Amino acid sequence: MNSVKLLGVVLAGGRSSRMGQDKSELAFADSNMLDVMINKLELSGLTNILVSGRKHQKYDSIADDTSYTGPLGGIRSTLAQRPGYAGYIFLPTDMPLLPPTLLTSLGHSTQATFFTNHPLPCFIPGQISIPLHLKSIKDLLEYLKAKPVAIPERLSQGFLNLNDPESYQYALLVQQSLQSKGQKK
């Protein structure tokens, strides 16, 4: 992946209202969710990485231009505040089981790309403007005529989105299972 021309962006500006606390700070895999997602971008080969949503002391970050406008607001803010990249890989802060290899595959795209039935993560080419009438990432992907990429069945669990305490507890169990399988090898 040509990491010099791409910016990896963790979208971390949501309210986390269903979770009841900031998802980016939830403990996961001996770290927190934000650190896990940053690590996934690094493992995919990206060196230019940004957190969008609010300022973070530990990482290069931006505050969204308009708070709590969802992932599309984070994408708009990133494109406005960090122009000049050939493309952007956007991912949420709440998919800690996502394999980094999938992010690597997005980085090879030249057109807007996402995984079938999952608007995030996605690749958005640089130098685009987002019309104000678009209200969601799905609207943006349709507008850009984004290419859907099929998810290999063996990787589908990686798209588990942690929106509430139950899905978080389930992801912790899956992570523990994966770790114990890795230790047996």
3-state secondary structure 36-69: HHHHHHHHCCCCCEEEEECCCCCCCEEECCCCCC
Q: Kindly state whether residue 114 falls inside one of the protein's structural domains.
A: yes
| CATH code of the domain containing 141 | 3.90.550.10
pLDDT over 70 for what percent of the chain? Answer: 90
Which position has the higher pLDDT, 167 or 13?
A: 167
d(CA 78, CA 72): 10
pLDDT in tens, 33-55: 899 999 999 999 999 999 998 77
What would the mean pLDDT of 116-133 be, rounded to a whole number?
94
Judge whether residue 3 has pLDDT over 50: no
Q: Kindly state whether residue 1 falls inside one of the protein's structural domains.
A: no
CB 95 within 8 A of CB 160: yes
Please give the residue range of the domain that contains residue 169: 6-184
- Give the pTM: 0.88
Question: Residue 177's pLDDT is what?
Answer: 82
Judge whether residue 183 has pLDDT over 50: no
Total domain count, the chain: 1
Q: Kindly state whether residue 10 falls inside one of the protein's structural domains.
A: yes
Question: Residue 47's pLDDT is what?
Answer: 93
Q: Kindly state whether residue 78 falls inside one of the protein's structural domains.
A: yes
Judge whether residue 179 has pLDDT over 60: yes
pLDDT in tens, 152-164: 888 888 898 887 7
Q: Kindly state whether residue 175 falls inside one of the protein's structural domains.
A: yes
Question: Residue 69's pLDDT is what?
Answer: 76
Element (H, E) at 147: strand 147-149
